[in-house]
Amino acid sequence: MSDPSFAIIHDLHSHTTASDGLLTPEALVHRALDKRVGTLAITDHDSVAAIPAARAEIARAGLALNLIAGVEISTLWENHEIHIVGLNIDIDCPQMTALLEAQLACRQQRAALIAERLEKANIPGALEGALRLADGGAVTRGHFARFLIEQGKANTVADVFKKYLARGKTGYVPPQWCTIEQAIDVIHHSGGKAVIAHPGRYNLSAKWLKRLLAFFSECGGDAMEVAQCQQAPDERSQLAAYAQHYNLLASQGSDFHQPCPWIELGRKLWLPAGVTPVWESWEKAAQTV
């Protein structure tokens, strides 16, 4: 294991078995320290269920890891599915609990409809398969992807999305997520910062991306992800310029789901000069207490 005194990286976007990650919260916090992450946000899809288990493991094992309670909320904006990360939230805030309950109900309903569509395409058993893989966590298209791979329908997650789960494909069902305004409002009620996740991954033209960032900023959104581990250098500097232009703080995160050769906790996470890190606000507040 690496020396925890060198665990200095902030990784503010990651998943566990509480949604579509493959590692338990306990395994994830140990892996974070191994990868020199000193501050880790767990941001499962529409769920905060991993946070108590992660906290308990950090205390039990005496890990020098600063855990940030987080969540990744799915929203609908202009017919696009936009993910809003909440960082440093109170997971017991009633407004948050209510929103996540509604989102999880949407996930269950959509899962049943996805399975119906796949059944019509002669792929039976998808609901049972996806729920088995979700194992009580928030059910996502990621679980359907794993089920379809198990069934030999495709070899990779990317292929299975292209063939079955992306918009317009056999297993696609338009979701009923909350709005961006609702997500920001509830994140703020819970004391957290609202962050646009992976702005480069929505297939938006530059014009639409700018529209999204302007809208998010006008709604009181706080930050945007600028650094991820798989990114062209010009994308990172472009996103940093947008953060400055739209008056947003900058965040960084791996969006780690499972061990794989390309995406790893803490990998290639740094912010270009000129932006303000989202974590400054809460780290400064902690110093003055």
Binding site for Mn ion (CB under 5 A): 20, 72, 83, 142, 197, 255
Q: Does 105 bind ligand AMP (CB under 6 A)?
A: no
Residue number, 4 or 175, with CB nearest to Mn ion? 175
Q: Which of the listed partners (ligand AMP, Mn ion, none) does 38 bind, with a CB threshold of 5 to 8 Å by partner kind?
A: none
CA-CA distance, 249 to 275, in Å (whole number)?
A: 7
Q: How far is the CB of 284 from ligand AMP (least distance, A)?
A: 31
Residue number, 147 or 161, with CB nearest to ligand AMP? 161
Q: Which of the listed partners (Mn ion, ligand AMP, none) does 163 bind, with a CB threshold of 5 to 8 Å by partner kind?
A: none
Q: How far is the CB of 20 from Mn ion (least distance, A)?
A: 4
Q: How is 204-260 classified by DSSP, letter by letter?
A: --HHHHHHHHHHHHHTT--EEEEE-SS--HHHHHHHHHHHHHTT-EEEE---B-S--
Residue number, 135 or 280, with CB nearest to ligand AMP? 135
Q: Which helix (H) or strand (E) holds 86?
A: strand 80-87
Residue number, 97 or 176, with CB nearest to ligand AMP? 176
Q: Length of the chain in residues, anyone?
A: 289
Tokens, residue 194 = 């609202």
Determine contact, residues 72/84, Cβ cutoff 8 Å: yes
Q: Does 257 bind ligand AMP (CB under 6 A)?
A: yes
Local structure of 145: helix, strand or coil = helix
Within 61-80, the residues that bind ligand AMP by CB under 6 A are: 74
